[in-house]
Amino acid sequence: MGYEFIEFEKEDKGVGILSINRPQALNALNWDTLKDLGNFIENDFPNENLRVLIITGSGGKAFVAGADIAQMSEMNDAQFKEYTNYAHKIYNLIEHSPCPSIAAVNGYALGGGCELALACDLRIASEKAKLGFPEVKLGIFPGWGGSQRATRIMGNGKAKELIYTGEMISAEEALRIGLVERVVPHDVIMEEAMKLAGLIADRAPLAVSAAKKAINKGSEMDLDKALGLEKDLIFSCFDTDDRIEGMKAFLEKRDPEFEGK
């Protein structure tokens, strides 16, 4: 793989851990780091055959402290567009991947870092994490998907409060407003993320992927169309070996063995 700014390890049950690894800058996504993340997501992620991808940050202090402000300050309009378009493309690939993803938010998740967490399916935060969108302090606003994904996740009011003020919030507050799903002690965040990933990895992978698609795509449609999509997806799930195995295992009072077929 040969990446400088990310690390990837595959654990048991097909759970992958991708760490953004630029701790000297609190894992801020400069071009090289974003490219490493993007190359992994575009080229390796689809071939790793993962059941769950966990994304986290190296160094113990930050998940990702955002886009790289020093680099951005030197960019012209065309370069900023290229940087932003690329971030959009990669975050969309994470969001729409059939593989579910968990952001293990182990510290600062700011700006583009919070937006990366929002592109994941689930967010688990350390009690030391700080989250927010400081962009308006820099003369921009969350433009790597944040103004759209934040509103869909926590509602317009809370998203506007966070985005307009640029203030950071604690993990507990993030939990209260639905920006994260769980808060855990700092020292055990990876253990807890692995437990959550392990639970998902034990389930029928095609069913989890279908549920992801139904929820992600369906929430963008009117209810009639969304219910139609749900039916198409449940019919395709019913037609899988895993469905036969899951129901058979229940009736035989044993754990199912899912193969993703």
Which residues are designated catalytic? 115, 135
Q: Is 65 in the site for ligand COA (CB under 6 A)?
A: yes
CA 107 to chain centre: 15
Rounded to a whole number of angstroms, the minimum distance from the CB of residue 34 to ligand COA is 12
Among residues 152, 37, 41, 53, which one has the least CA distance to residue 100? 53
Contacting ligand COA (CB under 6 A), which of 26, 211, 214, 237? 26
Pick between residue 135 and residue 242 the one whose CB is nearest to ligand COA: 135
CA dist 143 and 55 (Å) reads 20
What x/- string results for residues 208 through 227 when contact with ligand COA is judged by CB under 6 A? --------------------
Per CB under 6 A, the segment of 3-11, 59-67, 90-98, 193-201 that binds ligand COA is: 59-67
Contacting ligand COA (CB under 6 A), which of 21, 45, 55, 68? 68
Q: Is 121 in the site for ligand COA (CB under 6 A)?
A: no
Among residues 31, 119, 111, which one has the least CA distance to residue 64? 111
Residue 123: its H or E element:
strand 122-126
Q: Is 31 in the site for ligand COA (CB under 6 A)?
A: no
Nearby residues of 66 by Cβ (< 8 Å), 6 or more positions away: 28, 29, 110, 111, 112, 113, 114, 134, 135
Rounded to a whole number of angstroms, the minimum distance from the CB of residue 63 to ligand COA is 10
Considering only residues 134 through 163, tell me which ones interact with ligand COA, judged by CB under 6 A.
Answer: 134-135, 138
Q: Is 115 in the site for ligand COA (CB under 6 A)?
A: no
Rounded to a whole number of angstroms, the minimum distance from the CB of residue 189 to ligand COA is 18
Contacting ligand COA (CB under 6 A), which of 28, 54, 189, 204? 28
Contacting ligand COA (CB under 6 A), which of 12, 70, 222, 254? 70
Q: How many CB atoms lie within 10 A of CB 245?
A: 16
Name residue, tokens 């195995």. Answer: 245
Contacting ligand COA (CB under 6 A), which of 7, 8, 59, 69? 69
Q: How far apart are the first and last CA of the chain?
A: 28
Rounded to a whole number of angstroms, the minimum distance from the CB of residue 67 to ligand COA is 4
The type of residue at 48 is E
Token pair listed for 143: 């433009």
The type of residue at 6 is I
Among residues 23, 8, 28, 103, which one has the least CA distance to residue 59? 23
Residue 36: its H or E element:
helix 31-39
Q: Is 25 in the site for ligand COA (CB under 6 A)?
A: yes
Binding site for ligand COA (CB under 6 A): 25-26, 28, 65-70, 108, 110-112, 134-135, 138
